[in-house]
């Protein structure tokens, strides 16, 4: 499908209040000019980036959007809570929109196609705009049947606010020597750098998958969309950079299909499965892995079954 034959959907302009709020988030860490920043604050910043990126990809994405593994009801709530500490709205909101993205990838109905709506819109515009604010509970009915998840989805700011308070208290204790120091620059500097700066970087790490991962990199599989693979993005996003692999076979809990395709989320998910917290991680069948497109995969599957019959 060429760009000239596609008629984009009418997308309304961003809500100015939301745009300002989003821009303001970027300015908050600058207040560290007045509080200063300690080694501890920077460590918290790095830790919270990596820690929360894992829950975004292993939680929002590979669990809620794609059901690529199973878990218990209580741990499912933990996953949603942890993912939501990233301040990227509710788990059900996130996953419902992502399912929509896969269903309509790089067509006019795709919420964030860079090919059709451009970089800025696919990166941020669709989020600060009025068109995708609601959660379509029908799309995510398999999880919307749990009232605790619906509650968390509606009160999506509870986890990030909780984390911000914990981080500020830790700053008070570590930087200032006492929890009461959380109300001074000892606590605020950890809040600004540890929490806010990592949250902003996390936004752009995640959003880059929606925007530039459908533009830059290589395509191993013919997926009829613009999804790409990039080792650099895979490192920054703990495995999400294998986006062409993922669009080709979205149900797998790993996105690096080969051993050399670094996928840190997959390693952590395996560790969680060894601990018994999650199970039934879906892998990548051989005929998918070594195929070029779905037709080729079908042929390979038949050949492999034939081979098996002969040897069996
Ligand atoms: Zn995509
Ligand atoms: Zn996906």
Give the DSSP letter string of 37-66. --HHHHHHHHHHHHHHHHHIIIIIIIIIIT
Roughly what angle, to the nearest 10 degrees, separates helices 264-274 and 39-55?
Answer: 80
Task: Tell me, yes or no, whether 311 lies in a domain.
Answer: no
- d(C-alpha 248, C-alpha 264), whole Å: 20
Encoded tokens for 77 = 């709530």
Buried b / exposed e over 38-72, threshold 16 CB at 10 Å, is bebbeebbeebbebbbbbbbbbbbbbbbbbbbebe
Task: Tell me, yes or no, whether 51 lies in a domain.
Answer: yes
Instruction: Give the pTM.
Output: 0.94
What spacing in Å lies between the alpha carbon of 228 and ligand 1's midpoint?
9
Task: Tell me, yes or no, whether 90 lies in a domain.
Answer: yes
Backbone torsions φ then ψ of 32, nearest 5 degrees:
-65, -15
Contact 250, 223 (CB under 8 A): no
HSE-CB for 290 with a 13 A CA cutoff: 7
- d(C-alpha 33, C-alpha 19), whole Å: 24
Task: Tell me, yes or no, whether 290 lies in a domain.
Answer: no
Pick the ligand that lies closest to the CA of residue 251.
2
What spacing in Å lies between the alpha carbon of 196 and ligand 1's midpoint?
26
Task: Tell me, yes or no, whether 173 lies in a domain.
Answer: yes
Domains in the chain, number: 1
What spacing in Å lies between the alpha carbon of 101 and ligand 1's midpoint?
7
What spacing in Å lies between the alpha carbon of 134 and ligand 2's midpoint?
19
Helix (H, G, I), strand (E, B) or coil at 177: coil
User: Any idea which residue has 């829950």 for tokens?
Assistant: 55
If one counts every other C-beta atom within 10 angstroms of the C-beta of residue 273, the result is 17
Encoded tokens for 166 = 């914990």
Q: What is the pLDDT of residue 2?
A: 46
- d(C-alpha 126, C-alpha 117), whole Å: 9
Task: Tell me, yes or no, whether 243 lies in a domain.
Answer: yes
Contact 227, 246 (CB under 8 A): yes
- d(C-alpha 41, C-alpha 172), whole Å: 11
DSSP result, 218-238: B--S--SS---B-HHHHHHTT
Task: Tell me, yes or no, whether 2 lies in a domain.
Answer: no
- d(C-alpha 3, C-alpha 244), whole Å: 20
Pick the ligand that lies closest to the CA of residue 243.
1
What spacing in Å lies between the alpha carbon of 111 and ligand 2's midpoint?
13
Task: Tell me, yes or no, whether 91 lies in a domain.
Answer: yes
What spacing in Å lies between the alpha carbon of 86 and ligand 1's midpoint?
20
Backbone torsions φ then ψ of 209, nearest 5 degrees:
-65, -40
What spacing in Å lies between the alpha carbon of 95 and ligand 2's midpoint?
9
What spacing in Å lies between the alpha carbon of 243 and ligand 1's midpoint?
6
Q: Which domain holds residue 116?
A: 14-281
Per-residue pLDDT of the chain (312 residues; tens, 9 = 90+): 444 567 888 888 888 999 999 999 999 999 999 999 999 999 999 999 999 999 999 999 999 999 999 999 999 999 999 999 999 999 999 999 999 999 999 999 999 999 999 999 999 999 999 999 999 999 999 999 999 999 999 999 999 999 999 999 999 999 999 999 999 999 999 999 999 999 999 999 999 988 888 888 999 999 999 999 999 999 999 999 999 999 999 999 999 999 999 999 999 999 999 999 999 999 999 999 999 999 999 999 999 999 888 887
Closest CA to 214 of 244, 184, 169, 187: 244
Q: What is the pLDDT of residue 3?
A: 47
What spacing in Å lies between the alpha carbon of 299 and ligand 1's midpoint?
26
Q: What is the pLDDT of residue 311?
A: 82
Q: What is the pLDDT of residue 5?
A: 65
């Amino acid at each position: 499908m060429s760009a000239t034959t596609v008629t984009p959907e009418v997308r309304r302009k961003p809500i100015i209040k939301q745009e300002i709020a989003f821009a303001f988030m970027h300015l908050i860490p600058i207040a560290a000019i007045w509080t200063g920043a300690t080694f501890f604050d920077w460590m918290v910043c790095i830790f919270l980036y990596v820690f929360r990126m894992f829950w975004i990809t292993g939680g929002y994405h590979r669990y809620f959007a794609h059901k690529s593994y199973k878990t218990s009801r209580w741990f499912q709530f933990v996953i949603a809570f942890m993912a939501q500490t990233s301040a990227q709205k509710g788990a059900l909101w996130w996953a419902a929109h992502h399912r929509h993205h896969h269903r309509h990838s790089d067509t006019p109905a795709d919420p964030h196609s860079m090919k059709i709506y451009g970089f800025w819109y696919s990166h941020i515009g669709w989020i600060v705009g009025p068109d995708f604010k609601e959660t379509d509970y029908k799309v995510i009915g398999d999880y919307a049947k749990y009232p605790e998840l619906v509650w968390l989805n509606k009160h999506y700011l509870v986890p990030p606010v909780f984390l911000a308070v914990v981080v500020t208290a830790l700053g008070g204790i570590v930087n200032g020597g006492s929890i009461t120091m959380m109300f001074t620059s000892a606590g605020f500097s950890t809040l600004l750098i540890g929490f806010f700066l990592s949250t902003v970087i996390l936004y752009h790490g995640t959003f880059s998958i929606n925007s530039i991962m459908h533009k830059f990199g290589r395509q191993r599989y013919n997926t009829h969309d613009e999804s790409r693979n990039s080792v650099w993005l895979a490192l920054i996003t703990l495995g999400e950079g294998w986006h062409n692999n993922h669009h080709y076979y979205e149900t797998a809990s790993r996105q690096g299909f080969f051993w050399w395709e670094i996928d840190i989320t997959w390693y952590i998910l395996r560790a969680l499965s060894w601990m018994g917290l999650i199970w039934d991680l879906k892998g990548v069948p051989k005929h998918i892995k070594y195929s070029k497109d779905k037709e080729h995969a079908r042929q390979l599957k038949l050949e492999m079954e034939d081979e098996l019959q002969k040897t069996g």
